[in-house]
Structure 1
Amino acid sequence: MVMDLPGATLLPGLIDSHVHATLRGGTSLSNGPQELSDVAAGNLRCAAQAGITTVRDCGSPGDSMIRLRDTATTGLPHCLVAGPSLTPPRGHAHSVGREVVGVRGLREAVHDLAKANVDWIKVIGCGGGTPGTDPLVSTYTADELRAVVETARAHGLPVTVHALNADTISLGLDAGVRHFEHGWLYQPGSTLAHGATLERLAATGVVICPTIWATAHRVPLLRRRLRDSPSDSQARADLDDALRRTDAVIRSVGDCYAAGVRLIAGTDAGWRDVGFGDLVDELLLLQRCGLSAVDALASATQVAADALGVGARRGRIAPGYTADLIAVAGDPTVDLEVLRRVQLTIIRGRSLDQSRQHHRQDT
């Protein structure tokens, strides 16, 4: 294949390290695994159009994403899947998770997920945006998290923990967890100490996928709402809250980066209004946290690939690597905004146009 793209920059395909491919606005359809897989395929096509060639799905019901990962190769990103997240009864994300209690229950759940051939184990370590849950309250003890880590290790599986406060992160570190989703040390209204936890994060070689956009995406939505209805007092209050929470997350992630914690880019796409083509917004927020454009790019390419365990095949342009490539109009090391102008996406050696043609021939 020879293509002439003057002024373009060729890059490794982007990696979104935190998505929920079966979700639409934070809810999952319930009409069976085939419909879930169809929804996921549509969402992932949007991701591919945005230059994303690999995703890690961090929680979907049943075997929906396992089925999609194992059967879909044409025109869709590579998928690393966690299957259903492990969460307490009525815990955060219980609608797309597996409700589990106690050491024994958690060990059994990890065994079952390993048999189902997941790539990751995802644990909900505290509450979140699910009504009735509290992001400041941890859901599992260090012993319970340790049972997950030990059982997963026996199956050769990495573990990541949903953590929105310093206490949950500390419990995870006690249990041997080395990957955290969100990993926010600060929450509005929290009185938890965080200094010692930050030092431990830096010393332990932890990877955090901060998903800043999962909070910050509300800001432009609410600003548009206020422009349309300037007297909407609820929108004003919601915007103030979103700005306060976004500032807290940016401060947390910035402190982690300054301390040397490894960061990888993920959007939380599928949750609420977060889109599957929003990865550039996350990278721009990482810049606000202190990362250079080059480091932000690495968080969605080389650094992400290494952290997710696929660095021997993806995340770089080099002989022997999978042909996952994008071309963008301009130089993203100068301006990350040019990543919105994707001129070419190649996944598994096929451009998206070729993939669509190949798919039509197969069907």
Structure 2
Amino acid sequence: MTRYKLLTVGQLIDGTGAPPQKNAAILIAGDRIQAVLPHPPADLDESVETHAFPNGTLLPGLIDAHVHLTVDPGAYNTPEFIWARNDDQLVDLGRRQALQFLNAGVTTVRDLGARHGVSLRVRDDLAAGRVTGARVLAAGPAITTVQGHGHFMGVEVANHAELAAAVDQLIATGVDVIKLIGTGGGVTAGSDPLQPQFSAEALTLAVERAHRAGRRVAVHAHSAAGVRNCLDAGVDTIEHCTFATSQGVAPDEHLIARLAEQAVYVIPTLAPWYVLRDSDDAFLGFPQFGLSPRRMSDQVLANLDQMRRAGVKLTIGTDAGTWKLTPARFYDELEGFRQAGFSALETIAAATSVAAQALGIESEAGTIAAGQRADLVIVPGDPTQDFSVLARPALVLQAGQIHPPDY
């Protein structure tokens, strides 16, 4: 028997960037939105469960497009943490962090790197209802080069044949997306974020195989050279995209124009820089970039502003799991977008409809409309007037189910 719920709110923001709708009502049938109404129906059946938030704002469930659920944000040294845990311990951590995301109003996350198949186990436990938490799209282990960035929780390949085999094997195991490490990174000894790890030719090979199997491709790329390889290969999302060169970090107008023209989604992962900008740890600014964490934070915000002005498709991804980036810090990524010049409605769209498009789930999530899955968040106030209310969800629904269940 289908169960119905009616939510009435003082304001509705549908996630598309459109102006808020005042005094709205949402009728939910099972796990789907059945109707978006200007007011509650007059002939409401007594069996309908009702919830009224006259001062609240209803939003689509938020989406984090770049997380690492099975990495501990309390661990400064990620490789040591991974090596010291067995798979069951990592799965348990992933379940806990998925629940923390749901508590923060994030109903969907995309996990872009985990050892072995642990993120797939977390995904499947959540999908089966064995545990409660944000819905997960999982890449499984990222594909990297031998001893390349993230090798301690990735799949290492030495040539094109091994790369093709790795893509095919991950698809066979049921991953939702293919993740490749296109340049070096910051938590792997000996790795240089300025240096590409895969050529454009290698990335093209991976993209073609993944696309034939209906999988999107996300690529970690810090350097301008790495971003250029991603564009040449036709990847779907570029993670980080800092445009770093040996001369420093600055917007690359030519690459930004190509990003906009090719409609590639960029997940800038501001939170690692924004949250840690006051740290005196030079490592966090990447010594190769020659910048302190604060200067790095300022520069990635400037990059984001220029990409925004150029019309690049930008969405929210926190890199949660890296040091100090707990699920509760999701709001910091939103605040970073605001600092870079996004309006409140543009930032909400980046965390909902644009994120859903980047992940290929726009037919299911990211907006409030009839037929969409009932992943919803109510916040206590108007985020266009007080943006901080997004950090304090009053109610979360996932697939029509209220969280927490004893609300």
TM-score by length of 2: 0.80
Matches within 5 A, 1:120-269: 120-129=177-186, 130-186=188-244, 189-190=247-248, 194-220=252-278, 222=279, 241-269=292-320
* 2:353 aligned residue: 302
Gaps of 5+ in 2: 1-48, 286-290
CA distance in structure 1 between the partners assigned to 2:386 and 2:180 by the alignment: 36
* 1:15 aligned residue: 63
Residue 188 to residue 48, structure 1, CA distance change in 2 (3 Å):
farther
CA distance in structure 2 between the partners assigned to 1:344 and 1:271 by the alignment: 27
Q: Which has the larger radius of gyration?
A: 2
CA distance in structure 2 between the partners assigned to 1:126 and 1:285 by the alignment: 24
Instruction: Tell me, yes or no, if structure 1 residue 331 matches structure 2 residue 382.
Output: yes
Residue 8 to residue 198, structure 1, CA distance change in 2 (3 Å):
same
Instruction: Tell me, yes or no, if structure 1 residue 52 matches structure 2 residue 106.
Output: yes
Does 105-114 or 286-295 show the bigger shift? Answer: 286-295
CA deviation digits over 1:137-195, x for unaligned, max 9?
A: 11111111111111111211110110112110101111122310011124684389933
- The alignment yields a C-alpha RMSD, in angstroms, of 2.1
Percent of residue pairs identical: 36
CA distance in structure 2 between the partners assigned to 1:171 and 1:238 by the alignment: 25
CA distance in structure 2 between the partners assigned to 1:71 and 1:151 by the alignment: 28
Residue 61 to residue 52, structure 1, CA distance change in 2 (3 Å):
same
CA deviation digits over 1:321-356, x for unaligned, max 9?
A: 1111111111112332111111111112111221x7
* 1:83 aligned residue: 140
* 2:154 aligned residue: 97
Gaps of 5+ in 1: 223-233, 358-363
CA deviation digits over 1:113-156, x for unaligned, max 9?
A: 00011010001000111221111111111111111111111211
Contact 1:62–1:84 (CA<8 Å) still a contact in 2? yes
Residue 29 to residue 11, structure 1, CA distance change in 2 (3 Å):
farther
Residue 237 to residue 139, structure 1, CA distance change in 2 (3 Å):
closer
1:135 is paired with a residue whose SS is: coil
Contact 2:194–2:244 (CA<8 Å) still a contact in 1? no
Higher strand share: 2
Contact 1:166–1:192 (CA<8 Å) still a contact in 2? no
Residue 257 to residue 108, structure 1, CA distance change in 2 (3 Å):
same
CA deviation digits over 1:245-281, x for unaligned, max 9?
A: 1111111111111111000101000011111121211
* 2:27 aligned residue: none
CA distance in structure 1 between the partners assigned to 2:59 and 2:253 by the alignment: 37
Aligned amino acid, residue 207 of structure 2 = V
The offset of 1:219, in angstroms, is 2.1
Contact 1:184–1:253 (CA<8 Å) still a contact in 2? no
Q: Count residues in correspondence.
A: 344
Aligned amino acid, residue 340 of structure 1 = A
1:163 is paired with a residue whose SS is: strand
TM-score by length of 1: 0.90
Residue 192 to residue 345, structure 1, CA distance change in 2 (3 Å):
closer
Residue 14 to residue 29, structure 1, CA distance change in 2 (3 Å):
farther
Contact 2:183–2:192 (CA<8 Å) still a contact in 1? yes
Contact 2:184–2:193 (CA<8 Å) still a contact in 1? yes
The offset of 1:237, in angstroms, is 10
CA distance in structure 2 between the partners assigned to 1:21 and 1:321 by the alignment: 26
The offset of 1:32, in angstroms, is 3.2
